[in-house]
Structure 1
Amino acid sequence: MTDQAVGGGQLPPEATGRPVGGATAASSRRASGPRRDDATVPAPAAPPATARIAGRRRELKALRADIERTGLDTLTGRRGTRSRVLLIAGRPGSGRTALAEALLRELAADYPDGVLRATLTGRDGEPCATDAIARDLLTALDTDAPPGAAEDELGELLRGALAGRRALLFLDDAPGAEQVEPLLPDVPECLVVVVSQGPLTGIPDVRPCTLGGLDRAAAVEILARYAGPTRITVDPSTADAVAEQCAGQPAALVLAGGWLAARPKSSLSDLHRALAAVPLPEGVSTAARPLFRAFQLAYDALPKPAARMLRLTVLAPGGLVDAHDAAALAGCSVATAGPALQEFAALGLLRPVAGQDPADAVPDGAAGHPQYRLPGCLAPLVRNLLEAYERSSDIQLARARMLQRTVRLLVSCWAMSEAPGSPARLKVAGLPRSLRFPSRAAAGDWLRGHRGTLLDAARIAVADGELDTLDRRLMAALTRTLLAHQGPEAAAPDLYALHELVLEVAERRRLPREKAAALLNLADLDVHAGRTAAALTRYRGALEAARAAGDAAAVGRALESLGGTYGELGDWQRAADWYGRALELRLAQGEQADAARLHGRIGGVHAQAGRWGEALTAWRAAVGTCRRAGDTAGQARAMGELARVQECAGLPEEALRICREALETVRKAGDGQLEAVLQLRIADTLERLGDPAAARLHREAGERLLEDHPE
């Protein structure tokens, strides 16, 4: 997901207007001329994302007034049941996100439950899945949602979580009403601010605040803050001409100002001529020309290595990049990547991520390297350059280096969940400091904070549909790390998303083994969420795929899972049938322990159905299989279950005899807890047979064993 404004018309808080030393940029030249890699001059500091914006006071006032405006519901005499929606409409690069952030800062005090943020367009320019956005918002509200829940269910949960709250909901870069409407709260106490390029047709009572270019004074103010007031003062007419040349678009003005600020000896006339000299390719619309020219001017001034690094930033998962990420993508050192990112930010090509805390959980050696984001309005331009200048093999290599770093970070994060001194901890101790975490808590915080980026990395890894070794390592490492730090319950939604990714690729590439594994994992999560019908369909699909792949283990797991799911539904006959098929497979493979377990499951479902004869036959088979396998404890447990079924079948004397035999068997195994259970079962049976004295002795013995062998 990407932000939409380069600087957004935001101004740096410094009032001096002079460049601040830092990164480097190439010397002044015509945009269409050859690149010069050797000349360097000081570049300005990038404006922080929380700085005030230039102009837009009229728009802010109109938006504030729109909050209090009488709605259609009120006019008809009905109190509004949904939140008011404010729409800020404009082209990418018009400063629409910056205006929304300024509005949110002004309104924050009136909404004590805070601001919820979501970007509805992904890194690749495609609309984000609404269910994923709803789940992220629920996570921010500390509300659990079942894994694999449908969009409608998540929407209801989100509306329920917002009921009784007074919060701001900011939906950035919305493709249309279809993505916005399912996320709208049903409470008038909340306020929704939406940024979009066009109207939200279909959502009632929405009046857009449409952004055009900045007025002359605000546009010149942006140029002055970047280039310094002196050059504006000595040539105000050219400053106006540059503002007009940029069509008052904040993104274009920031890029033009950054170019000029990096060249203290250049004038506004030089900037004006350089912008005019940028050639325009066919198909660029009139409205897009100012931003294209300003971006191309800034890009062409970069040294070749820096230009390549900028192109590769579009590959970064989640649209976020720091010095280590950039170094991995470009195949250079962190010492080279860090200053280059600072230069990009100074020129308006990247935006520093707002709200970064130096104490944020990061690996030891990654502290002090801030994150940056490629603005959404520039992402298509950078992506076009990547496709034009980079070979597909080089792009794959850059992705592989980035993926390798992500895998190593995940392995390090997982290792911190292991005990100190464990082999995993000792192995991680040999990694570079930039890949090591100071503590388990820091590793867990990093995992939670980078969840979206890691899931995006997984999506990138399978985008081409080739589950090669590195992709498999990423999926395995991410799954293991989520389970280690969050546990099965908390990690289930993210695991569901990962298994869906694997399934998508497996189906597209016709990989039956991977398809079977993904379907089995998804079906298990469906069962846990109560979606048994969906689970049955997936288990059947997994069985078919596993048979096609010749994967006996997956076939057995699918057969058993089908039996268990039918058992959950109370369809005991089908449950016994599927367990029986799994039993045949285990017996054919000589897996005695699994065969004994399946005999027991068959006995259990027959007992649930009241078919005592079949249940007794199955449990006797389980006892015999355990005896042949030399599993004394398993034999005793099976005998105990056999006795329970005999008692239910009206054979208490036979049940007592089997229990006593089981008691002798379990004493050989040395399982004190199981011995206690059998003693208590014998006591219950003796009471039913009318022998309370003997029952009391066995009960006392069982209770003593439980005290000596607690769970």
Structure 2
Amino acid sequence: MVPKDMLISGLWGDRPPNTAEQSVYTYIAGLRRVLEPHPGTRGPYAVLVSRSRGYALERGQMQVDVADFERHLAEARRLHSAGDHRGGLRALDAALAHWSGPALCGVPGPFAEAERARLEELRLSAREDHADTLLGLGLHQEAAAALTDLAAEAPLRERTRDLLMLALYRCGRQADALQTYMDIKRLLAERLGVDPGTALRERYELILRADPSLARVQDRASGAKAPARPPRQLPRAASVLVGRAEELVRLRSLLSPWDGGPPQAVVAITGAPGAGKSALAVRAAHASSSAFPDGQLYVNLQGATPGGERLKPIDVLGRLLRALGLPGGAVPSEEDEAAAVLRDRLEGRRTLILLDDAAGPEQVRALLGLPSGNAVLITSRESHAETDDCVQLVLGRLLRSEAVTVLAKLVGAERIAADPAAADRLAHLCDLLPLSLRLAAARLAERPDWTARDLGTRLEDRRRTLHELESGRRAVRSSLELSYEGLAHGGELDRLAARTMCHLGVLHVASLTPELVSALLREPVDAAERALGRLARAHLLEISGPGRYRLHDLVRLFTIELADARLLPEARKDALMSALGFYGATARHASTVLDPHRVQLPWPTVPQRPLALTSADEARDWLEEELPDVVATAAQAMQSEDDDVARLGAYVGFSLMWQLTRGAHRHEQRDLNRQALAVGERTGDQEILSLAHGQFAHALVNLGRETEALLHQRAELELRRALRDRFGEMRALGNLGVVLLKLERYAEAREGAEAQRAIAREIGSEVGERHSLLIRVVACRELGDLTAAMSLLGEVLALAQAAGDRYHESEGLALLSELCLDRGDPRTAKSYLERGLRLAREIGYRVSECESLAMLARVHRLLNEPARALAYAREALAARQRSADENLSRLAEDELRVIETAFPELRATREVPPRAALTG
């Protein structure tokens, strides 16, 4: 429904004539004479119908050429993305066939003017896309002819000239292609006083030197390799986006100027939570996508995610660079360097970057200052007025008519139109904010027996709710409470979904699975799955992957408050303890399935059963996918003032020992065990203190802080002896040996390893005996006793192979290869390293994998096989990319530098620069 005042504003703007309303009636009558199937009769009308204070076209009665045109354009983009260029060409032909002259020709007024400009831009972009597709299919003559006409019609469009230059060149008309550039350069200087953009200048230089990259790349049907597709990362645009027409036109004019000039460098959409910033940004990005042929990138910065951690600028830079085709190993680890690489990567390109949910200007500052032709679109709750070269759009409330339309689209036009006054009142009670309106509509959808007046009356009766709807976060909280109440008073499944919402606030994790929610609720997994599905249908959760869900950012905050308000302290504790029990039990079980020879740290008895994981692949996938959430849960629990919760949180952290070790997650291991130490000291729990000292020492020694690690490792040994725990004492002696080796105190390390082996034999610990032998091998080698080291190594390899312990066997093979290198036998070392590498990869030990690859590079260097050496060095760099261990980084890069020094001819082929970014 379009109100009369909107029609008047669209036709005459801010200064309508006194006869405007009468003129509208006259025009409506004229339209009816054309559109109605029975002209001349006076109502009821079938096509153009009257509504309260406005008019509407009956759905299904009209076919609009603009809608058909835009539908064909969308289909063309979809087919092009799928690689069906011929299908895309047919869709573009169908789209352009709708045009027979200027849009809305002769229609005056601000609405027609803006719409005419929008449609004309779409038409010109579609013609450019059509020519671009012809080029992709090898139809250069046809493309050149179409682009010549288009350049005459729109002489200042740089993309048209760019494509025309390429088409002419591929037709063998190099001179004409160069003249096309000179023509546009002259026109731009004469009419606008500017020079051609970077893309045109770069195309001119390539044509000038007849660069081979300009040659036609065959399509898939020819069997040749197709070029890499530019990134298209934008989320799907919201299906319901009412209003914001003025803002959308403004954004499009900034991102895709009507005159074909470069886009605004930075555009920020700011406003209150629930104002629809992200939805508008995504829609504007899609609408302007044709102006950015080199890609559209998207990153959720999580700046206002309750309970979540906002992304760091260096992490965002890494994501963008990888999406632009930079190998992961080549991403710099320093923020300034990574930003410089991003600018270099985007030089001469036209790319749009959408940074959603920024915490503030500081989070995005390093991502700005991009070359001309690129644009950054930001959404944020914080003002970006201080950001350089930024145009800020502050998003306020919807117009009343727009808010009512939102309700009509979500609930049904007939239901809302039945009582327009009540719909108007409900829109104002929702403060005209899109999120509040959506949630109110969800209540109506869940209760088909309610009218708009019924829901409005409920809101008015809750004076506190009405007050909270007036601003900011409170508007979201009260709207969410409406949805919760609707579930809590519904059927059995709705009530279960409401109880699930309460329990979700107990646990601050990024993602949810039915198994985790089952533990929280102490309900069967299928019940948890149905409850999550119900919440997803109510748009209170979103599906983030198969069997995985994610809370909307604002809903997360509401569930935290809901848990505090609706659950007793005992219920919150029970839910958190259940989740901890599930996480810890499953982590231990998964580690055992992945490597049954690794001894798990002590674990208290819990009623929760671990997830059924039967294969090493399942175990590895679960550990890698769930690790961030398990770490977050353990950390959250250890901050609790409840000793029971804090102690179980510490044990959950201990359950991750082997996964943190395998993946070289040193910082997580350090932080978790620092917290566990505090829990042990606070509660006086000697077992937790002992385990935390040992695990903290393990993390410190891998972070290069061996002196600190020694203090904690000795503390664990003393506690184990005080507890008369022989197995714990044996394990502590072994870990002490590792620290002493790092400190180059080899004689002490050997002595401690002998004591460890004595206890291991006493208590029957085969794994302890193997560990002690490995310590002694390293100590003897460093002390110069290679004969003893070789003898001990043979013993430990025999024991590991007999037990099937692939980790100790891999470690032993690595040491054996080092001894072979000590004796000047790189060829034998090579065979041992290749066996050890296979074992390390089978069990997922990143440290062993990277070390083996670096040593293989060294071996092939010594064998005077530079190509193989370089390949292994690069593979080692790629392996360390999956690890946050800086020691591995130095090991791989040092070997690469040695290879390049020994074989200078290889430097020109280097692909991975030193000090590339490390990711965990």
Determine the structure 2 residue equivalent to 1:309.
Answer: 500
The alpha-carbon distance between structure 1 residues 158 and 443, as it changes in their structure 2 partners (threshold 3 A), is: farther
- Determine which of 535, 539, 564 is the counterpart of 2:742: 564
1:679-711 Cα distance to aligned partner (Å, 9 max, x none): 996xx9xxxxxxxxxxxxxx9xx9999999997
Correspondence 1:297 to 2:482: yes
Q: 2:269 aligns with which of 88, 92, 99?
A: 88
Contact conserved, 1:159 with 1:186, CA < 8 A, in 2? no
Work out which of the residue numbers 59, 62, 87 in structure 1 matches 2:250: 62
Supply the AA of the counterpart residue of 1:204: D
In the alignment, residue 334 of structure 2 is paired with which amino acid?
E
In 2, the alpha carbon distance for the partners of 1:241 and 1:163 equals 54
Give 1:153's aligned amino acid.
Answer: E
Provide the secondary structure at the position in 2 that maps to 1:377.
Answer: helix
Quick one: distance in 2 between partners of 1:680 and 1:482?
32
The residue matched to 2:509 in structure 1 has which SS?
helix
2:532 is matched with which residue?
A: 341
1:379 aligns to 2:556 (yes or no): yes
> Alignment partner for residue 673 of structure 2, among 502, 506, 521?
502
State the Cα distance separating 1:99 from its structure 2 match: 2.0
Equivalent in the alignment of 1:218:
402
Single out whichever of 461-470 and 198-207 deviates more from structure 2. 461-470
Deviation at 1:449, TM superposition (A): 5.3
Secondary structure of the 2:357 match is: strand
- Distance in 2 (CA, whole Å) between partners of 1:91 and 1:680 is 67
CA contact (8 A) 1:274 1:297 kept: no
Cα 1:449/1:543, change in 2 over 3 Å: closer
Q: Which residue of 2 aligns with 1:11?
A: none
Q: Does the C-alpha gap of structure 1 residues 160 and 415 become closer, same or farther in structure 2, counting only changes over 3 Å?
A: farther
Instruction: Name the residue aligned to 1:689.
Output: none
Superposed displacement of residue 89, structure 1: 0.9
Q: What are the superposed Cα offsets for residues 255-289 of structure 1, whole Å, 9 maximum, x if unpaired?
A: 11111122222221111111111231799483145
- Cα distance 1:555–1:588, how it changes in 2: closer, same or farther (>3 A)? closer
Distance 1:446 1:340 in 2: 22
Distance 1:372 1:705 in 2: 49
Query: Mind listing any 5+ residue stretches in structure 1 that lack a counterpart?
Result: 1-14, 17-47, 71-78, 361-368, 425-431, 528-534, 566-574, 606-617, 638-670, 685-698
Partners of 1:278 and 1:69 lie apart in 2 by: 48
Q: Structure 2: which 5+ residue stretches go unaligned?
A: 1-58, 61-235, 490-494, 601-607, 682-687, 722-728, 760-768, 796-812, 836-920
Q: 1: distance between equivalents of 2:612 and 2:775?
A: 45
2:459 aligned to which of 267, 270, 275: 275
Give the structure 1 partner of residue 521 of structure 2. Answer: 330
Q: Take 2:834 and 2:385, find their aligned partners in 1: how far apart are those partners? A: 65
**What is the one-letter code of the residue matched to 1:91?**
A
What does residue 120 of structure 1 align with? 302
CA distance, structure 1, for counterparts of residue 387 and residue 830 of structure 2: 64
Partners of 2:793 and 2:614 lie apart in 1 by: 48
**AA partner of residue 100 (structure 1):** A
SS at match of 2:345: coil
C-alpha separation between the residues in 2 aligned to 1:522 and 1:138? Answer: 31
Cα distance between partner residues in 2 of 1:328 and 1:247:
38
Check whether the contact 2:358–2:378 (CA below 8 A) recurs between aligned residues.
yes
Q: Which amino acid aligns with 1:464?
A: S
Whether contact under 8 Å (1:49, 1:353) holds in the other structure is no
Quote the Cα distance in structure 1 between the aligned partners of 2:391 and 2:646.
50
**Aligned CA distance change for structure 1 residues 635 and 57 (closer, same or farther; 3 Å):** closer
Residue 247 of structure 1, aligned match among 431, 435, 439 = 431
> What CA distance in whole angstroms lies between the structure 2 residues aligned with 1:526 and 1:260?
57
Cα distance in 1 between the residues matched to 2:369 and 2:736 = 41
> Structure 2 counterpart of 1:198, which letter?
E
The 1:138–1:501 alpha-carbon spacing in structure 2 relative to 1, beyond 3 Å, is farther
Q: Residue 248 of structure 1: CA displacement? A: 1.2
Quick check: 2:242–2:406 contact (8 Å CA) kept in 1?
A: yes
Q: 1:92 offset after TM fit, Å?
A: 1.4
Q: Is the 8 A contact 2:631 2:653 kept in 1?
A: no
DSSP-derived class of the 1:53 partner: coil
Higher mean alpha-carbon deviation, 592-601 vs 389-398, is at 592-601
Specify the code of the residue in structure 2 equivalent to 1:59.
E
Corresponding residue number in structure 1 for 2:239? 51
Are 2:431 and 2:469, in contact at CA under 8 Å, matched by a contact in 1?
Answer: no
Q: Partner of 2:792 in structure 1?
A: 634
The secondary structure found in structure 2 opposite 1:352 is strand
Residues 269-668 of structure 1: pairs in structure 2 closer than 5 A? 269-280=453-464, 284=468, 286-288=470-472, 290-301=475-486, 302-303=488-489, 305-316=496-507, 318-348=509-539, 350-353=540-543, 356=545, 360=546, 371-407=548-584, 410=587, 417=594, 435-436=611-612, 450=626, 452-464=628-640, 471=649, 474-475=652-653, 478=656, 480-481=658-659, 488=662, 491-492=663-664, 494-507=665-678, 509-510=680-681, 512-527=689-704, 535-536=705-706, 538-539=708-709, 542-543=712-713, 545-546=715-716, 549=719, 554=732, 557=735, 561=739, 564=742, 575=744, 578-583=745-750, 585=752, 619=784, 633-634=791-792
Corresponding residue number in structure 1 for 2:361: 177
1:184-203 alignment runs, 5 A limit: 184=368, 191-200=375-384, 203=387
Name the CA distance, whole Å, in 1 between partners of 2:277 and 2:660.
Answer: 36
| TM-score normalised to structure 1 length | 0.61
Which has the larger displacement, 161-170 or 234-243?
A: 161-170
**One-letter amino acid of the structure 2 residue matched with residue 321 of structure 1:** L
Query: What secondary structure is seen at the aligned counterpart in 2 of 1:318?
Result: coil
1:639-689: CA deviation from partner (whole Å, max 9, x where unpaired): xxxxxxxxxxxxxxxxxxxxxxxxxxxxxxxx9x999x99996xx9xxxxx
Alpha-carbon distance between aligned partners in 1 of 2:438 and 2:287, rounded to the nearest angstrom:
24
Q: Structure 1 counterpart of 2:569, which letter?
A: S
CA contact (8 A) 1:411 1:481 kept: no
Greater relative CO (CA pairs within 8 A, separation 6+): 1
> Using a 3 Å threshold, how does the CA distance of structure 1 residues 115 and 458 change in structure 2: closer, same or farther?
farther
Paired residue type of 2:739: S
1:588-609, Cα deviation, whole Å (9 max, x unpaired)? 778699999878867766xxxx
Change (3 A) 1:143 1:91: farther
Preserved CA contact (<8 Å) 2:304 2:310: yes
Shift of the alpha carbon at 1:406? Answer: 3.8
Change (3 A) 1:418 1:254: same
| SS across alignment from 1:220 | helix
Q: Percent identity?
A: 21
Deviations 1:288-318 (A, max 9, x none): 4544443333322323544322111224553
Cα offsets for 1:116-137 (capped at 9, x unmatched): 4233347544653627845983
Call closer, same or farther: CA 1:674–1:547 in 2, change over 3 Å.
Answer: closer
SS in 2 for 1:561: helix
Partner residue, 1:667: none
Amino acid at match of 1:105: H
Q: Deviations over 1:354-385 (max 9, x none)?
A: 6x4xxx4xxxxxxxx5x443322233333222
- Report whether the alignment pairs 1:262 with 2:433: no
Secondary structure in 1 matching 2:377: strand
Query: Quick one: distance in 1 between partners of 2:529 and 2:311?
Result: 33
Contact preservation (8 Å) 1:121, 1:175: yes
Q: 1:341 to 1:602 in 2, by over 3 A?
A: closer
Deviation at 1:411, TM superposition (A): 5.8
**TM-score of the aligned structures, taking structure 2 as reference length:** 0.48
Change (3 A) 1:583 1:164: same
AA aligned opposite 2:667 = Y
CA gap 1:386/1:132 in 2 versus in 1, 3 angstroms: farther
Aligned partner of residue 397 in structure 2, secondary structure: coil
Rounded to whole Å, the distance in 2 between the matches of 1:95 and 1:460 is 31
